[in-house]
């Protein structure tokens, strides 16, 4: 029963982030199973993941670049909220990893726009030893061209209101993030979802999320779900070199379309020597201390923990600094990346050739017919021939009966329609 007819509105789970904590895995899984989730009482409003991205941009008040060809997102959040409130499903899920970046005003707007629905927050969290290298890679995918040590200096040692530190702590300082929502959502409806360790089965994160929203994990098929493309240290260094070469005048929307979406997410993964970016040994003590502070803040905040807070504490790491990739590794990765790009160019050329062939066929068949139609409509004789041809085809098909022959008319009395005498008669 729908809300409009007096039924209960759905319970809304706002999956607000954080980035690099399994969010892409969960989002891809849900959208891959979007046709099956409604049978379990789950609504994914908007019809696509992009709708949630657009709504989040609207909620955050972002301004579109003047030359960005993509459609604007003004009003996108309200459209999503309207669909949720009108739904007769039991649960609605809105998921985007940067909703957690909203300010206090955005948090208030989000919850208010969904009333009278009961709103729950889901915040995914990850251990800092794994999070820091992964976030640096994400920065590089977004045009950052400084090395890991430089980035760590900004995040750990720098001013939290400037440089890379501003964004990192905006989305990963758990008490600060959840504190912006605290006036609008009670702590028992704020759920901290911990990312299982690297050796845990990948379905464990989904099982926790599914249990939270009240569905059987088996509702979704995990066989065709991808995780966010992770780059090796060599691949990240190669991308960083590309970033340094990109012209400063290239707008960010174009950079994302070509470098992020094509090179970083599609071509680069798997082209270089394997090996994760390690957190330097000298930073591990700080990461452990900071992780303990964050877990204590979660406990004291009274938030619901889905998982185990111990998973947020860094484990043991290497005692010696790892060597960064050298020129030989970068050159090898660059060569394989070029081959990947050439392969993609080849596929696109084949697709273009096929499209050109189809267009040529359309010009050869449809255009002459169109010209003949226009000509016949202007010329009465051609029009009569065309109508006669159509009638003949219908008779041959047996659709239209063959007309009976008419008796010959006397020359002196033959008339054309309208009562006028025929030309032959008028000559007498």
Tokens of 372: 């003949």
State yes or no: cis peptide before 296, omega within 30 of 0. no
Give CA–CA dist 140/425, Å, rounded.
94
Side-by-side strand order, sheet with 304-306: 42-43, 91-95, 11-17, 119-125, 190-194, 304-306
Residues in the chain, total: 428
Q: How confident is the model at residue 386 (pLDDT cuts 50, 70, 90)?
A: low
Higher pLDDT, 158 or 399: 158
- Statement: residue 228 has pLDDT above 70: no
- DSSP secondary structure string for all residues of 121-166: EEEEE--HHHHHHHHHHHHHHTT--S-HHHHHIIIIIS-TTSHHHH
**CB 322 within 8 Å of CB 278:** yes
Poorest-pLDDT segment among 44-53, 103-112, 255-264, 350-359:
350-359
**CB 266 within 8 Å of CB 343:** no
Domain ranges of the chain: 11-128+160-229+282-313
Q: What are residue 169's DSSP bridge partners?
A: none
Q: What is the pLDDT, as a whole number, of residue 219?
A: 94
Taking only the tens place, the pLDDT of each residue in 97-139 is 999 999 999 999 999 999 999 999 999 999 999 999 999 999 9
Is 177 in a helix, a strand, or coil?
A: helix
CA dihedral over 220, 50, 151, 123, signed as positive or negative: negative
Cβ within 8 Å of residue 351, ≥6 positions away: none
Q: What is the pLDDT, as a whole number, of residue 337?
A: 94
Taking only the tens place, the pLDDT of each residue in 324-363 is 899 999 999 999 999 999 999 999 999 999 988 888 876 6
pTM, two decimals, is 0.79
Q: Work out the average pLDDT over 58-69.
A: 90
Q: What is the pLDDT, as a whole number, of residue 305?
A: 98
402 burial class (0-12, 13-18, 19+ CB within 10 angstroms)? exposed
Taking only the tens place, the pLDDT of each residue in 305-321 is 999 999 999 987 776 77
Q: What is the pLDDT, as a whole number, of residue 242?
A: 96
Higher pLDDT, 379 or 285: 285
Poorest-pLDDT segment among 144-148, 356-360, 366-370:
366-370
Average pLDDT of the residues of the chain: 86
- Statement: residue 20 has pLDDT above 60: yes
Return the H-helix or E-strand segment holding 119.
strand 119-125
Q: What is the pLDDT, as a whole number, of residue 418?
A: 38
CATH ID of 11-128+160-229+282-313, from 3.30.200.20, 3.40.50.1100, 2.40.50.100, 3.40.50.300:
3.40.50.300
Q: What is the pLDDT, as a whole number, of residue 279?
A: 93
Give CA–CA dist 39/128, Å, rounded.
38
Higher pLDDT, 391 or 336: 336
**Among 281, 277, 273, 385, residue whose Cα is nearest residue 335:** 273
Give CA–CA dist 106/173, Å, rounded.
17
């Amino acid at each position: 029963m729908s809300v409009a007819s007096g039924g209960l509105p759905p319970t809304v789970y706002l999956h607000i982030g954080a980035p690099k904590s399994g969010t892409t895995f969960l989002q891809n899984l849900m959208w891959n199973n979007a046709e099956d989730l409604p049978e379990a009482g789950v609504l994914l409003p908007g019809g696509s993941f992009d709708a949630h991205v657009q709504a989040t941009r609207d909620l955050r008040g972002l301004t579109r670049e003047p030359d960005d060809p993509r459609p604007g997102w003004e009003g996108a959040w309200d459209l999503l909220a309207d669909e949720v409130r009108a739904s007769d499903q039991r649960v609605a899920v809105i998921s985007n990893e940067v909703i957690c970046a909203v300010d206090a005003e955005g948090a208030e707007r989000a919850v208010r726009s969904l009333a009278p629905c009961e709103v729950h927050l889901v915040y995914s969290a990850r251990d800092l030893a794994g999070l820091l290298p992964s976030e640096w890679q994400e920065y590089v995918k977004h045009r950052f061209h400084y090395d890991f040590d430089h980035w760590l200096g900004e995040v750990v040692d720098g001013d939290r209101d400037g440089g890379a530190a501003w964004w990192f702590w905006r989305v990963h300082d758990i008490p600060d993030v959840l504190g912006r929502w605290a006036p609008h959502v009670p702590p028992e409806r704020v759920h901290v979802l911990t990312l299982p360790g690297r050796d845990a089965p990948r379905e464990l994160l989904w099982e926790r999320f599914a249990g939270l929203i009240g569905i059987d994990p088996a509702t979704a098929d995990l066989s065709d779900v991808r995780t966010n493309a992770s780059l090796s240290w060599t691949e990240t260094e190669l991308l960083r070199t590309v970033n340094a070469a990109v012209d400063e005048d290239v707008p960010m929307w174009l950079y994302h379309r070509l470098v992020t979406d094509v090179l970083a997410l599609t071509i680069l993964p798997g082209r270089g020597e394997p090996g994760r970016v390690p957190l330097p040994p000298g930073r591990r003590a700080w990461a452990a201390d900071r992780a303990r502070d964050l877990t204590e803040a979660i406990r004291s905040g009274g938030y619901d923990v889905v998982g185990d807070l111990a998973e947020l504490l860094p484990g043991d790491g290497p005692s010696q600094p790892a060597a960064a990739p050298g020129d030989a590794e970068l050159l090898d990765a660059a060569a394989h990346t070029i081959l990947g790009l050439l392969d993609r160019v080849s596929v696109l050329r084949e697709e273009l050739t096929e499209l050109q062939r189809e267009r040529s066929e359309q010009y050869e068949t449809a255009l002459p017919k169109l010209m003949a139609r226009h000509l016949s409509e202007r010329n009465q004789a051609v029009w009569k021939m065309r109508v006669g041809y159509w009638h003949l085809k219908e008779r041959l098909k047996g659709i239209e009966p063959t007309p009976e022959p008419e008796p010959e008319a006397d020359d002196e009395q033959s008339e054309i329609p309208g009562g006028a005498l025929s030309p032959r008669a008028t000559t007498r």
